Amino acid sequence: MALFMYGTATNTGKGFFTHEDRLNFFLRGYPGDVWVVGNNEKGALWLAEKNGVEKTKAEAQAIVTAEVEAAQSAWDALSDEDKLNSTRPSIITLP
């Protein structure tokens, strides 16, 4: 059994993930509304209840990579002065 499941879901704010949720399963958010969720019954139920769309790891990674690449392109287009205030986003590898 895989350790994680992957999906997209929009963080709607308060109650999106509760104190109890965080105790019941692993949860980590990434760009593109991608969430890595502990692969147990409660994690799967959470993703379903949040109207999440389950993805394969490759699909989730592609979404995150596309978001970061878009941010990289935006950064590359900044003026030299604006670049001083930030660093070029780096590709994220999902666990």
Partner 1 sequence: MSTYKKLHGRSIIPVAANFSDSGAEGQIWFNSVAGEFKSIVASGAWSSSSPQTTQREGGTATMGTLTAGLIAGGSHPAAPFTTATEEYNGSGWETGGNLGTGRNAYGGAGTQTAGLTAGGYTGSNVTVSESYNGTSWSEGPDINTARRASGTCGTQTAGLLVGGYTSSPVKVVEEYDGSSWTTVNSAPTNNYSAGMAGIQTSAIQIAGATNPGQACFEYDGTNWTTGGSLNTGRSGGGYSGTTQDSAMAISGETPPGPKTVNCEQYDGTTWTEVSNVATARVPSGNSPSGTKTDAYFSGGQSGVLLTEEFNTSANVITAAAWSSGGNLNTAREMGGVAGTTPAGIYMAGKTYPNTYRNETEEYNGTSWAEQNNVSTARTAAGAGTQTAGLIFGGTNGAPGSTGVQSATEEYDGSSWTNGGSLSAARLNMYGAGLQTAAFGAGGIISTNAAVTTVEDYNGSAWTSGTAMPAAQQGGGSAGLPSARLVFGGYSPYSAVTLEGDGEGWTAGGNMNQARGILAGFGSQTDAIAAGGSVNPNANSALAEGYDGTSWSTRPSLATARQSFAPSGSYNTSTSGFVAGGSQQGNPQNAQTEEWNVETTAVNIKKISTS
Q: Assess 55 for contact with partner 1 (CB under 8 A).
A: no
CA torsion, points 4, 37, 58, 30, in degrees to nearest 10? -140
Query: How many residues sit close enough to partner 1 to count as binding (CB under 8 A)?
Result: 46
Q: How far is the CB of 53 from partner 1 (least distance, A)?
A: 18
Q: Assess 59 for contact with partner 1 (CB under 8 A).
A: no
CA distance 1 to 3: 6
Binding site for partner 1 (CB under 8 A): 1, 3-4, 11-19, 21-32, 38, 40, 42, 64, 67-68, 70-71, 75, 78, 81-87, 89-92, 95
